[in-house]
Each structure stands twice: as C-alpha cells, then as structure tokens.
Amino acid sequence: MSEAKDNNGRGSWLTFRPEIKVLDCTIRDGGLMNDHRFTDELVRKVYRTCVAAGVDYMELGYKNSKDQFPKADFGPWKHCDEEDMRRIVGDNDTDLKLSAIADAEKSDYKTDILPKDQSVLDLIRVATYIHQVPVALDMIQDAHEKGYETTVNIMAVSTVHENDLQEALELLAASPVDTIYLVDSFGSFYTEEVKELTKRYLKACKATGKQVGIHTHNNQQLAYANTIEAVVNGANQLDATMAGLGRGAGNCPLELLIGFLKNPKYRLRPILECVENDIEPLRGSMHWGFDLTYMLTGLLNQHPRAAMSHLGKDEKDRDSIVKFYDEVMDV
C-alpha cells in the first residue's frame, strides 16, 4: 500500500506504508462455523503459514467463559487455554504475534486471561456492542495492566445511533486501548460509508494517538473493497482470513489483501499453498462465503443468523431463495 502521492492524490504503487499491520483471524472467525473444532494439524498449518507469509498477528480464537460455553460443547479455540495454544505454537519463538478475542459479558477475563509474562499471547482483543462499552473499558484496562497490547471491536456499528457512537469513540480513545476497530458486522456497508466512518474513527483517535482497524464481512461481496477503502483513508490494522473463511458470508480474503499490499515483508505463496491444500477442502463440511441468503441479510442490515439457519438445513428441506426473501422482508 502506497504512501507516496501523484498529482491526482492517488498513491504510487512503488512504495508502502510500513505502519500497516495484518491480522489473520482464520481460526477465530472460521471457528464460528464449526464450534471451534479445528484439528491441531489445521491450526498448526495456519500458524506456520502466517509465520512464512510475514503476517503480523494471528488470532487463535476466543477467551470466553467456560460457564457460559462449556468445554464439552466446543473445541479448544473457544477458550484458548494456555496448554492448547502451546501445543500448537510452543513458545512462539517467531516474529508473529498471537492474539485472542474476548466478548464483553461473555468472558471471565479477570481470571482466565493470565498476566502477559505467563502467556504465549501478545494481544487481547475486546469485542463489544455499544451498550457494553463500560464492561469493555474495564476489560481493556485489565488486559493493559497485565501487559498486553489491546484492541477493541465495536460490533454492529451499522445499527448504532450517531451520538452513541461518538460517545463510545471518545471514551475508548481516552482508554489504554491501542487500536479501535471499525467493524462491518452484517456486511451491510458500502464504500462511501466506510470512508466516512474511517475518517470519523481517525478523528476521534487523533488526540491520543490510537490506531484504527477494519474488520469486514462479505455479504455483498464488498469485504475486500471496504478493507481497501479503509486503508486508503488511513486505517492501519487490517483483519483478513484465508479464503475468506469466517462466519456466514466470510471475511476479507487474506490472499487478496496480501496481493494488494506492497510491503516486501509479506509473501503470498505460503498463503496460496495453505488455501489450496488446507482451507478450500473444508468447504465440503463448512459452508461459508457469498450466498444469496447472506446477501439479503446484508442488504437489510440484519444479523446473518436467519441465513445461517436456512443454510444449515438439509438441502431437500430448504425453502426456495424467493420464499426466504419473502420471509426476511416480512420481519
């Protein structure tokens, strides 16, 4: 991604912004499609691919409550216990930093997130809805005091009142958090909206020097385009997944993003190899990516749960796409 400008204000393709960081959340976001039951072999392959590709961060999964999400009902990446992570990465003697995300009101963060010097993790990410921001602020403070880098994802921002968003941004900008993420939870944003929101987040962060990140979903096949729009307008922390693997319509594909960025530290070939050999074969058992049902929930600015329920039925039991359209339009 360029930092030089030509006479039209566009970036030159011959330089790059070294401050841009890429976070792979293949295992974390993809785990929402299989209850986080990835094999150790697959998680290890994604980890080694991120190392080989020069990716900056890899998100292993969630740090969520075992009371609310019993271990018997989920794979290990719902909780990211230290022994599970170290079984994959050892002491992570690499340049790749490791992350886990914790949901506000769904995480026993004070006890389950260990001090940084006792963990293989480098970054704790907090996911919050707008009404949970007070909890998120405490989670950020807790992780910061334990020695971690921190980020916060404000979810479902497409449904948030403008004044509430502004207040949340001001509170978060004054906190110890390192990066505030713009999140297109429902894949409903168009590039014009991403442009204006990125500028708004950057303005809120300017005084305290926070970074702005972007996390997109592909309901309208705009995850990649919207990520690039945020980059062009100043976002420096970028989420992506291999082959777009993620909840519902999936995310910005990592291979597209790495192909766009011009930093020579990033290498595309290892990602293509992992996508071909390890990620694409999962489509036989996991359904993700653009689909007409996900398109409709994106157009309507709705959570994709209705589309996921529709697609979770046996094909013979599914209603037609037209009937699904009629049903969601009546909601």
Task: Give residue 304's domain range.
Answer: 292-330
Does residue 181 share a domain with residue 230?
Answer: yes
Instruction: Assess if residue 134 is contained within a domain.
Output: yes
pLDDT of residue 305: 80
Comparing CA positions, the residue from 244, 251, 250 lying closest to residue 311 is 250
User: Which residues partner with 97 through β-bridges?
Assistant: 57
Q: Assign 1 a pLDDT band (cuts: 50, 70, 90).
A: very low
Place of tokens 């003697």: 93
Q: Assign 302 a pLDDT band (cuts: 50, 70, 90).
A: confident
pLDDT of residue 328: 83
Does residue 324 share a domain with residue 255?
Answer: no
Instruction: Assess if residue 222 is contained within a domain.
Output: yes
- DSSP letter string over 270-322? HHHHHIIIIIGGGGGT---S--HHHHHHHHTT--THHHHHHHHS-GGGPPPHH
How far is residue 218's CA from residue 199's CA, in Å, rounded to a whole number? 22
pLDDT of residue 12: 55
- Mean per-residue pLDDT of the chain: 92
DSSP 8-state code for residue 179: E
Structural domain count, the chain: 2
How far is residue 49's CA from residue 63's CA, in Å, rounded to a whole number? 23
Q: Assign 190 a pLDDT band (cuts: 50, 70, 90).
A: very high
Name which residue leads in pLDDT, 273 or 291: 273
How far is residue 91's CA from residue 58's CA, in Å, rounded to a whole number? 14
Q: Which residues contact 89 (CB under 8 A, 6 or more apart)?
A: 47, 98, 120
Does residue 261 share a domain with residue 322?
Answer: no
- Encode pLDDT of 123-164 as tens digits: 999 999 999 999 999 999 999 999 999 999 999 999 999 999
Cα separations in angstroms, 311 against 48, 319, 323: 32, 10, 13
Cα separations in angstroms, 87 against 35, 112, 281: 19, 18, 24
What is the rounded average pLDDT of the residues 285-299? 86
Instruction: Assess if residue 93 is contained within a domain.
Output: yes
What is the rounded average pLDDT of the residues 170-191? 97
The region that residue 179 occupies, defined by phi over 0 for left and psi between -120 and 50 for alpha, beta otherwise, is beta
- Encode pLDDT of 69-120 as tens digits: 999 999 999 999 999 999 999 999 999 999 999 999 999 999 999 999 999 9
Does residue 321 share a domain with residue 273?
Answer: no
Does residue 312 share a domain with residue 181?
Answer: no
Is residue 2 pLDDT above 50, yes or no?
no
Is residue 6 pLDDT above 50, yes or no?
no
Does residue 309 share a domain with residue 240?
Answer: no
Does residue 305 share a domain with residue 226?
Answer: no
Report the length, in residues, of the chain. Answer: 331
Does residue 323 share a domain with residue 218?
Answer: no
Instruction: Assess if residue 236 is contained within a domain.
Output: yes
* Structure tokens belonging to residue 56: 């900056």
Instruction: Assess if residue 264 is contained within a domain.
Output: yes
pLDDT of residue 8: 39
pTM summary value: 0.91
CATH number of the domain encompassing residue 99: 3.20.20.70
Q: Find how far residue 165's CA is from the centre of its chain.
A: 20
Does residue 297 share a domain with residue 276?
Answer: no
Does residue 62 share a domain with residue 173?
Answer: yes
Does residue 321 share a domain with residue 201?
Answer: no
Place of tokens 């007409």: 292
How far is residue 183's CA from residue 186's CA, in Å, rounded to a whole number? 9
* 106, 103, 112, 61 alpha-carbon torsion, rounded to 10°: 120
Q: Assign 5 a pLDDT band (cuts: 50, 70, 90).
A: very low
Place of tokens 């094909």: 315
